[in-house]
């Protein structure tokens, strides 16, 4: 199994990159080392800027508090690799669903898993046993690698989970690997397809917004519920949202910012306003326009800028 994973990883990861700086990080569990090829794999890979291996000793994990401490150090170190690299691939190897769920939770919270980071999850578990990871795999730039042993050969199947899809449905098979034939694409998609370019079926998203000088909140009749009203906003950013929704095949409903603000980070690390709603996953999208700040970018993802403004301040010069 170690050989299979090493070969797959070489073909998936070590491809020519248009950018000169990139890194590879790996996270493994210390449990059942004979089935987890993390160390063996990473010692065989090469990368221009090196490879990092981060192991979480599962034998010491006995409570939720220990989970926090075990992953805090590991992900903090891996985050430094992501922040100093242009292209990052993260390999996670474990047969323990609890470990994989904990890794996913803390990686998202720490902003280790952003769209520019490519995630590879390698496991011997069956596809049915990975449904708990459905949400994290659907919203990240990730590939699920499942090892399958038969009497004739060993092979690896590679799946991409479509955003907002039914967890009970089989994810998209994008490629497979076997020793005799190597890596073979199983569809017209690439290994890491652009999952948010356009949804195959209509998706309904929740959008948080607040009133400002150019956007007004109004109540109007709900066409889906006779005798009910719904919250809508009017303004140029809603026009932009309608254009994007039509192109990507999604509908949306509005909700107000709880305190009427865009979002400020408190001393305890919590967020207010629209940023807080998106960060806590109470809303899928915050419709601004938002000011680009480093602090906000550390908690939520920005779209490509839709407006560039210049601000000037006039001061009275003293005598």
CA dist 219 and 229 (Å) reads: 6
pTM recorded for the entire structure: 0.76
Position 43 scores a pLDDT of 47
CA dist 227 and 219 (Å) reads: 12
CA atoms within 13 A on the CB side of 181: 12
Tokens 């150090």 sit on residue: 73
CA dist 318 and 315 (Å) reads: 9
- pLDDT tens for the chain, 319 residues: list them: 233 333 444 445 444 343 334 444 555 554 443 344 444 444 444 555 566 777 776 665 665 556 666 677 778 888 887 877 777 888 888 888 878 888 888 888 888 888 888 888 888 878 777 788 888 899 889 999 888 766 566 788 899 998 888 888 888 899 888 878 888 888 777 788 888 888 888 899 999 999 999 999 999 998 888 889 999 999 999 999 999 999 999 999 999 999 999 999 999 989 999 999 999 989 999 999 898 898 998 889 898 888 888 878 888 887 6
Instruction: Name the residue among 207, 214, 254, 213 with its Cα closest to residue 232.
Output: 254
Give every CB contact of residue 92 below 8 A, 6+ residues apart in sequence: 26, 27, 28, 100, 103, 119, 120, 121, 122
CA dist 290 and 274 (Å) reads: 10
Sign of CA dihedral 161, 163, 169, 172: negative
Homologous superfamily (CATH) for 2-185? Response regulator (3.40.50.2300)
Where do the H-state alpha helices sit in 157-262? 236-248
CA dist 103 and 37 (Å) reads: 17
- Domain 203-297 class in CATH: alpha beta
Q: In the chain, what are the domain boundaries?
A: 2-185, 203-297
Could you tell me if 252 and 204 are in contact, meaning their C-beta atoms sit under 8 angstroms apart?
yes
Task: Tell me 278's DSSP state.
Answer: H
Position 247 scores a pLDDT of 93
């Amino acid at each position: 199994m170690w050989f299979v994973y090493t070969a797959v990883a070489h073909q998936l990861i070590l491809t020519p990159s248009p950018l000169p700086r990139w890194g590879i990080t790996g996270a493994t569990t210390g449990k059942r080392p004979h089935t987890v090829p993390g160390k063996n794999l990473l010692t065989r890979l090469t990368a221009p800027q090196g490879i990092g291996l981060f192991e979480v000793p599962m034998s010491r994990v006995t409570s939720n508090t220990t989970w926090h401490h075990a992953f805090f150090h590991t992900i903090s170190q891996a985050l430094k690799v992501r922040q100093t690299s242009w292209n990052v691939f993260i390999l996670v190897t474990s047969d323990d669903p609890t470990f994989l769920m904990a890794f996913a939770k803390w990686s998202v919270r720490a902003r280790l898993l952003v769209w520019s980071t490519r995630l590879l999850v390698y496991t011997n578990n069956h596809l049915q046993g990975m449904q708990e990871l459905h949400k994290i795999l659907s919203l990240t730039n990730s590939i699920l690698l499942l090892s399958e042993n038969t009497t004739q050969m060993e092979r690896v199947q590679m799946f991409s989970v479509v955003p907002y899809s039914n967890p009970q449905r089989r994810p998209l098979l994008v490629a497979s690997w076997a020793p005799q034939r190597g890596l073979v694409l199983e569809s017209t998609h690439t290994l890491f397809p652009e999952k948010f370019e356009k949804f195959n079926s209509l998706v309904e998203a929740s959008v948080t917004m607040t009133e400002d000088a150019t956007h007004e909140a109004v109540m109007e009749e709900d066409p889906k519920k006779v005798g009910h009203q719904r919250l809508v906003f009017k303004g140029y950013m809603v026009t932009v949202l309608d254009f994007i929704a039509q192109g990507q095949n999604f509908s949306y409903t509005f909700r107000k910012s709880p305190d009427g603000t865009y979002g400020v980070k408190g001393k305890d690390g919590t967020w207010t306003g629209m940023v807080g709603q998106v960060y806590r996953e109470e809303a899928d999208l915050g419709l601004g326009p938002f000011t680009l700040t480093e602090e906000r970018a550390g908690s939520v993802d920005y779209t490509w800028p839709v407006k560039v403004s210049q601000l000037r301040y006039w001061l009275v010069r003293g005598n």
